[in-house]
Amino acid sequence: MLKFSILGALEINTSRERIEVPGCLQRSLLQTLLVGEGEPIPSEELMHSMWGDAAEEIQANSLHAHVSRLRRRLRSLEPDRPSSRLTAHPTGYRLALSEGELDAMEFVRVVNEIEARPRVPPHELADHLRSALSMWRGPVFGGSVETPLCRRAAARYESHRIRALELMFDAELAAGRHAGVIAELYEQHYAHPMSELFCEQLMIALYCSGRQAKALDVYRRMRQRLSEELGVDPSPKLRRVEQAILAHDPELGALAEAPLS
């Protein structure tokens, strides 16, 4: 069984070794097939991923030659597989993928399952989400995403990663681990400066760790940023968090347990 990793630089993993895919054209071909998640990819899409605007000048047999080379490479890595993983279809080619063989698909599946579970202790939920997030080794394809199809897939996987982070921080705060997540929340707050949720979570973590002034400073900076860049005020929910901090509301901790809107 092969495992393909795209949550970071492209890699193929066997039971014995980790393999990098040589050659830009072979990497582009495999990347595009992988984001198809087991569905056929049209030949035109594959050719555009490999040759860009020059694809119109490339003969179809050039694509076939690269597909054949990749097929041989994959067969050499799993010689006991009864049939080829990479097959031709009327409109293009398909790379067969089973459950657990593509890290991005596995990550999305795990996060969806976690979110759909009945209520579980927050510390357990946070630990499960941390385990899922550990699948990420870096940006999708190591940040080398050049075609529209791969860019759309990368954006979709990234949106699931952000969702998992949001849920994880909610769970960590509900578990009372306020001080332990402050550094991580600062990192996400700076990486996503327009996210009011990361801002809210950071404010709660700071306040519940005895750092009221810092929490209010985070809010003031967020309010200024929203005003200068978007011409809007903070959301009513974020303003309620600020008011709760100012009033030392004993129910403030419950805000960390509120479901995401």
253 band by pLDDT with thresholds 50, 70 and 90? low
Residue 101 lies inside a defined structural domain of this protein: no
* Domain endpoint, select from 95, 124, 148: 95
Residue 153 lies inside a defined structural domain of this protein: no
Residue 235 lies inside a defined structural domain of this protein: yes
92-148, pLDDT tens digit by residue? 999 999 999 999 999 999 999 998 887 889 999 999 999 999 999 999 999 887 778
* Domain endpoint, select from 95, 117, 139: 95
pLDDT (mean) for 52-65:
78
Range of the domain at 219: 178-261
20 band by pLDDT with thresholds 50, 70 and 90? confident
As a three-state string, the secondary structure of 48-69 is HHHHHHHHHHCCHHHHHHHHHH
Helical ranges in the chain per DSSP H: 24-35, 43-51, 60-77, 103-116, 122-133, 148-174, 182-191, 196-208, 212-230, 236-246, 252-255
Identify the weakest region by mean pLDDT among 49-63, 128-142, 178-192, 216-230: 49-63
Instruction: Give the CATH number for residue 252.
Output: 1.25.40.10
For residue 172, give the amino acid letter. Answer: E
Instruction: Give the CATH number for residue 37.
Output: 1.10.10.10
71-107, pLDDT tens digit by residue? 999 999 998 888 899 999 998 999 999 999 999 999 9
Give dist(CA 36, CA 135) in Å, integer.
19
pLDDT (mean) for 157-180:
95
Residue 167 lies inside a defined structural domain of this protein: no
Residue 145 lies inside a defined structural domain of this protein: no
Q: How many domains does the chain have?
A: 2
Distances (CA, A) of 48 to 29, 45, 67, 153, 187: 10, 5, 14, 16, 36
Q: How far, in whole angstroms, is CA 171 from its chain's centroid? A: 19
Residue 166 lies inside a defined structural domain of this protein: no
Question: 5 - beta bridge partners?
Answer: 11
Sign of CA dihedral 182, 190, 160, 21: negative
pLDDT (mean) for 58-64:
81
Residue 112 lies inside a defined structural domain of this protein: no
Residue 218 lies inside a defined structural domain of this protein: yes
Give dist(CA 118, CA 114) in Å, integer.
9
* Domain endpoint, select from 62, 95, 128: 95
